[in-house]
Amino acid sequence: MASKKKKSSNSTGAIASNRKAYRDYHVLDKLEAGIELRGTEVKSIRQGHVRIDEAYVDIDNAQAQLLQMTIQPYDHGNVFNHEPTRPRRLLLHKRELTRLQSNIQQKGLTLIPLKVYLTRGKVKVEIAICKGKDTVDKRDTLKKKTADMEARRAMRHAR
């Protein structure tokens, strides 16, 4: 008898994503990292009360910290609720930290979180090494996007 796999409630769907990152930066490399969180933060993230639009990663003293990520206070929390924009430590291996730190020291590169998601009940963040786009690059991206959309529309009407 073949067993059917059930889709668990802890799927890997993104809870929060940073869509501005793809518009404002060239994504060079991606990496998954864990986040050190408190209990009320995890409950709030599961409810979807998290924003990473203005967040960035800073590496200092051989530790990576996620700064400016906003996790709203938990609805049913009490006096032990967390501060919404506190710095959160990222859980990475030492060799990953040294590689990221050497990449950041290059001119114009930064670490940006792309999305926050659950994997097997644990909150993970996908961070990327990015290089900032110029306004010319942004216009080129927009032109390519509109050309692709017009081509899809033409193909749809041709059918």
Using one digit for the tens of pLDDT, what is the confidence trace for 88-107? 999 999 999 999 998 888 77
Q: Token digits for 82?
A: 């967390």
Round the average pLDDT of the chain to a whole number and report it: 86
Write out pLDDT tens, residues 93-149. 999 999 999 888 877 799 999 999 999 989 999 999 999 888 777 888 889 999 999
Domain spans of the chain? 14-132
Q: Token digits for 38?
A: 């408190």
Q: Which CATH code of 2.40.280.10, 3.65.10.10, 2.60.120.380, 2.30.30.280 fits the domain covering 14-132?
A: 2.40.280.10
Q: Token digits for 42?
A: 């995890």
Q: Is the pLDDT of residue 64 over 80?
A: yes
Q: How far apart are CA 91 and CA 36, in angstroms?
A: 7
